[in-house]
Structure 1
């Protein structure tokens, strides 16, 4: 189970679960950067900015009360359900590239989900404080239980069990995020195509940007699952 002195941070779960998932996450981030770098240089034929696309798609759905505004940061684009605002980073807000259009359309997809009461989005939004609470307690509880429990299972093993249970909440959050993000991208592609904002030749690049972004959520789920498996493996080693 353990290598060397058996230090918590150098167990077999780290080698076989967490490191591969971490490499996958790095690959996903690289795909996003590569896709964005490539298609941020490809201007759309309609020459619409991300802000104009977002406004057009929102108005088409009757979401006139949802504002589109500029926000700071790089690729910090998001939809704020409480403020009912689509916030776009400067390069997306002002840009006319396929990457800008794809990202702007994706965020309006979340606004559409919110307006329709899309189940997974509603569940995720309500689950956020629970997941945050669980995440903040999971590792401290598990680590305390791990340190004070002997190899014969003597000690507060229930703390490790609690840590695993709380960490499971973070995994649930990541799992629920997947259909939310994939659905938003599907809505984006459909809207951009049906409204003639992109043509057939632009579909490939737009979809590549959206797929690369979606891969990061798959990677985040894989990392959470790998970490949970590692905790379970460590817990069983104390029996």
Structure 2
């Protein structure tokens, strides 16, 4: 059956290993620089608030909130909330202010109408369907013969393709947020230029996880297409 195809590992293994390496780097860098206090003594919540205020985003427009879970930090454009994990929110560490500044960068993107962020937000409903339903339709199509099977398989590929496209659109969004974060942390006096080594280590490792996710989605899509090519 196609899902035991050894060729699958040719497509899946390299991006999976890259993803594991990226996750290791993120956890390792975050753990290391969570133990190094910023010279300014500013914690993650204060860093995010200072960046937002300087960017013309008041507390009534975007709230900075604490949320549970390790590295569960994110910006919610629908509810205009910047949610930081408890360690990032409360600790005055290089890692904490780096992550907080990155999420504040997303809020600034939202305020300025950054196109890739808007596109990604629009794609969310389709991606939530495509990532789950797409592979199911594809597998169903593989089990069925004739025109119906082919149609279902291509429909699954099209739906899953939205996941790969979403992963690609995510890359400039994340890279730009990190770029903004790095510039603002120094210009706002939150970290020194010497401390930026730690910020770079944390944010660059986090960026690699998004590269790995994009590689995984693209290679999965290419694998589906290769199956269809062999079937034809």
**Same fold flag (TM > 0.5):** yes
SS at match of 1:167: helix
Question: How far did residue 13 of structure 1 move?
Answer: 3.2
Structure 1 unaligned runs (5+)? 1-6
Q: Deviations over 1:123-158 (max 9, x none)?
A: 100111111222232111110111123xxx776212
Listed as ranges, the matches of 1:66-85 within 5 Å are 66-85=62-81
2:149 equivalent in structure 1 = 156
Verify the 8 A CA contact 1:13 1:233 in the aligned structure 2. Answer: no
Q: 1:206 aligns with which of 199, 206, 231?
A: 199
Listed as ranges, the matches of 1:1-239 within 5 Å are 7-64=1-58, 65-149=61-145, 156-239=149-232
CA distance in 1, matches of 2:99, 2:107: 13
CA distance in 1, matches of 2:147, 2:196: 60
CA distance in 2, matches of 1:92, 1:106: 11
State TM-score, norm by structure 2.
0.96
Q: Deviations over 1:46-84 (max 9, x none)?
A: 111101111111111110021111111111111111111
Verify the 8 A CA contact 2:98 2:203 in the aligned structure 1. Answer: yes
CA distance in 2, matches of 1:238, 1:82: 43
Verify the 8 A CA contact 1:72 1:90 in the aligned structure 2. Answer: yes
CA distance in 2, matches of 1:33, 1:135: 26
Root mean square deviation, CA, Å: 1.2
SS at match of 2:83: strand
Structure 2 unaligned runs (5+)? none
Runs of 4+ in 1 over 3 A off after TM superposition: none
Larger Rg: 1
Question: How far did residue 161 of structure 1 move?
Answer: 1.1
Q: Deviations over 1:11-66 (max 9, x none)?
A: 14312111111111111111111111111111111111101111111111110021
Equivalenced residues, count: 230
CA distance in 1, matches of 2:37, 2:224: 47
SS at match of 2:84: strand
Verify the 8 A CA contact 1:54 1:105 in the aligned structure 2. Answer: yes
State TM-score, norm by structure 1.
0.93
Verify the 8 A CA contact 2:143 2:149 in the aligned structure 1. Answer: no
